[in-house]
Chain A
Amino acid sequence: GEQVEQRPPHLSVREGDSAIIICTYTDSATAYFSWYKQEAGAGLQLLMSVLSNVDRKEEQGLTVLLNKKDKRLSLNLTAAHPGDSAVYFCAVRATSSGQKLVFGQGTILKVYL
């Protein structure tokens, strides 16, 4: 089945710098890609999602890039601020997996002043 690896597990950046999180996946039939944010003591909230026909999507300081050749998905937080400190997860769905999302291991992001 689909395997997802997420890196790095921990990321610390200064306010105003960019933060990049990467996920690699194994199933070339993966059709749906998403990023979730989990703030302390809370559940996950969807940040952005793309389908397999999209290579790049930008929204409110976030950029998602999809490289289908390398099976790599990335999330770039440009100009991070302390409110971005949270745990971030990628989640992907292959057409073969029905209604099941496969999550990455998570990245703990800390943005310091």
Chain B
Amino acid sequence: GGIITQTPKFLIGQEGQKLTLKCQQNFNHDTMYWYRQDSGKGLRLIYYSITENDLQKGDLSEGYDASREKKSSFSLTVTSAQKNEMAVFLCASTDRGAETLYFGSGTRLTVL
């Protein structure tokens, strides 16, 4: 089996701050995803990557950057945190051609 590790678990930032969230997986999966989870809105795709150094925009990419420097890691940057923003950011991975997503336990973001 494998595991997806997201760091940090909790992130508190200030308005306008640039914040980076990290995700590591040891499944050796090709594709990795970043989702934003807001209460009552389900999961919305921010960015995904089908291989090292690849980046694809999701439905919610504005205000975010992503980076996939190696196969096992995928980072997400909030370019300018919005005041009173609260959400959980979930990282996931899947193998090429497979359907099942494996999720990390999330980073909970609070912006003061």
Contact residue range for chain A? 20 to 34
Q: Is the interface of B mostly helix, strand, loop or mixed?
A: strand
Q: Is the interface of A mostly helix, strand, loop or mixed?
A: strand
- A36–B35 Cα distance when bound, in Å, is 14
- Tell yes or no: B1 within 8 A of A by CB: no
Tell me the B81-112 residues at the A interface (CB within 8 Å): 90, 92, 99-106
Please give, as numbers and ranges, the residues of chain A lying within 8 Å of B101 by CB-CB distance. Answer: 36, 44, 46, 91, 101
Contact residue range for chain B? 20 to 34
Contact between B99 and A89, CB atoms less than 8 A apart: no
Contact between A49 and B99, CB atoms less than 8 A apart: yes
- A47–B80 Cα distance when bound, in Å, is 36
Would you give the shortest CB distance from A25 to chain B, in whole angstroms? 13
- A44-B101, A93-B99 known; A100-B45 Cβ under 8 A: yes
Tell me the A74-113 residues at the B interface (CB within 8 Å): 89, 91, 93, 99-101, 103-106
- Tell yes or no: B8 within 8 A of A by CB: no
- A45–B102 Cα distance when bound, in Å, is 7
Q: Which listed segment binds A: B12-20, B36-44, B61-69, B70-78?
A: B36-44
Contact between B92 and A43, CB atoms less than 8 A apart: yes
Sample of 8 more A-B contacts, CB < 8 Å, known A89-B42, A100-B58, A103-B44: A34-B100, A43-B4, A44-B92, A44-B103, A91-B43, A99-B31, A101-B101, A105-B40
Binding site for A on B (CB under 8 A): 4, 31, 35, 40-45, 48, 50, 58, 90, 92, 99-106
